[in-house]
Amino acid sequence: MLKLSKMTDYAAVVMARIAREPDSAHAAIDLAESVQLPHPTVSKTLKALVRAGLLESRRGALGGYRLARPASQITASDIISAIEGPVAVTECSHADGDCELVNTCGVADNWQRVSYAISELLGSVTLAHLASSAPLRMPVQLPIQAISLYGDDEPHPMASAANSTGKR
């Protein structure tokens, strides 16, 4: 199962809560209470988000956490990467990937395409979308549709089947 960690889920929840009141400074204890998560968990999440440059923190009476940039400029991919590292389906799907089977596996290129499509989709969903109560509208064309899995000189296997039956 392809699944995000609880910490990543919590990070998205906390970020969405902050995004709903972007002009306010948010104390960790208040955030924990409002999203109903343990204070230590929220504090750990906030620190990771600050390290990733998604949040700013200020100390003092008027201190707290704020978005480092507008919610429309922070993506789901940014949040995931802040907690889990680069978005990749397999080890060979990201730039620093190191796979000992790269020369013999035969599926790396296609996994990289899948990983790319997922990254593109996550990059198109902003924190503003996540924070909104409106349903998320998916793009009409998913990124994978724009990625040819077949070379320009290699027809899609189903195309020849459709042509042989006279269908298009």
Residue 162 scores a pLDDT above 50: no
pLDDT, tens digit (0-9, with 9 covering 90-100), for 143-161 = 555 555 445 554 444 344 4
- What phi, psi does 14 have (nearest 5°)? -65, -45
- What phi, psi does 5 have (nearest 5°)? -70, 160
Within a domain: residue 141? yes
37 in Cβ contact with 70 (< 8 Å)? no
pLDDT, tens digit (0-9, with 9 covering 90-100), for 102-134 = 778 777 778 888 888 888 889 989 999 999 988
Within a domain: residue 114? yes
Q: What is the CATH number of the domain that holds 52?
A: 1.10.10.10
Within a domain: residue 159? yes
Q: Which residues span the domain enclosing 64?
A: 6-164
Calculate the average pLDDT of the chain: 82
Within a domain: residue 156? yes
Within a domain: residue 1? no
Number of domains in the chain: 1
Q: Are strands 64-67 and 55-58 parallel, antiparallel or unpaired?
A: antiparallel
Within a domain: residue 45? yes
pTM for the model: 0.78
